[in-house]
Amino acid sequence: MPLAGHEPLLPHSCRCPMVRLPSLKRLVTPLAALLAIGLSWAAEPAQALSRIKDLAAVEGVRSNQILGYGIVVGLNGTGDTLNNTPFTKQSLQAMLERLGVNTRGANMRTANVAAVMVTANLPPFATQGTRLDVTVSALGDSKSLQGGTLLATPLLGADGEVYAVSQGPVAISGFSAEGDAAKITRGVPTVGRIANGGLVEREIDFALNKLKTLRLSLRNPDFTTARRVAAAINDFLGGDAAEPTDPSTVVLQIPPRFQGNMIRMLTEIEQLRVEPDQLARIVIDERSGIIVMGKDVRVSTVAVAQGNLTVTISEQPEVSQPEPFARGRTTVVPRTNVKVDTEGGNKLALVKESVTLAELVDGLNALGIGPRDMISILQAIKAAGALQAEIEVM
């Protein structure tokens, strides 16, 4: 029985939780947050992840190439020679006749006109009135397009339809100057550019929001990458909407909640991150001696030796003079030193099995060889069957 005027005596284990419960709550919350952050760091892969936006393109969302034939006027005597370029003369006569000027039978000797080809890229979803840059390239024997103006030139697509019209002053980055005994040319003065010189006149119909199926095209086709892209999309959408059909294509069935709102779905899918996979490949450019190796290149156990036969020939002629009062003459006696170096100090270097890319590079560099010899060694290791990688020669 408890004593009068005293509180009931509780065991120590019973009293402590009642007194310290608020402090434990204050401690549990930050500890749980730190634990969650630690688990998220541990679950995050160490490899570099790439956005689907950088790995794949939406099929149908693409540029189209357009081109046209036109005339540049206003050149300072650097245009085509009409006697040598009949197409320029015919184009000039046809243009003048459309303007009401008859030049048939006249002897035209102007050097201020040049025939050019005009090229441009029509961006996707370009609407009427959109401006685009065009490139102007000389077609005849014009020396420079500096100071010239391109007349209205229709730009056609592969179907023969006119999609844009270009016109404006041509800006070039190169120049050419010459005198009676010297000539200097820097850059290419016969190619220029007109910023915002094209005007879109026809739109390409592509109803993106009405599509029921979307196709993603991988920029670097690969089975594993395509499967990972499809898995990331399915995890986000919560179903089996995406399925890879080949190494370069992932077909996506549009979920009902995104019907008619394709832009919303694409903006969400583009930001998903996937670890891309790639083949073990070595790219070699023999002309410049450039070697690029992928991270998955592996080499089986193999012994490598490198040595060259070097022959050094040096001439050190000596002057031979006769003794005093002798009936001789001074002559030059040739002295030739020949040195042959077989680099006998270079021995076989053992490359262990399944070495990494860094170890392979360090091992080849330890032999003291340059890029040219390294190319030959890599090709020899591949021929021996010890290189688990594909060699691509540019």
Render pLDDT for 309-362 as a digit per residue (tens, 0 to 9). Answer: 454 555 567 777 777 766 777 777 777 665 655 555 555 555 555 566 567 667
DSSP state of 221: -
- Comparing 176 with 216, the larger pLDDT belongs to 216
List C-alpha distances in Å: 242 to 107, 207, 250, 342.
68, 21, 7, 62
Q: Averaged over 47-72, what is the pLDDT?
A: 90
* For the chain, domain boundaries: 64-200, 208-274, 281-308+343-393
pTM for this entry: 0.65
Phi, psi at 22, each rounded to 5°:
-60, -40
Q: Which CATH number is correct for 208-274, 3.40.1350, 2.30.29, 3.30.70, 1.10.357?
A: 3.30.70
C-alpha span between 335 and 11 (Å, rounded): 111
Tens digits of per-residue pLDDT, 14-29? 343 443 444 434 433 4
Tens digits of per-residue pLDDT, 246-275? 999 999 998 888 888 888 899 999 999 999
Task: Tell me the two tokens of residue 61.
Answer: 């969302």
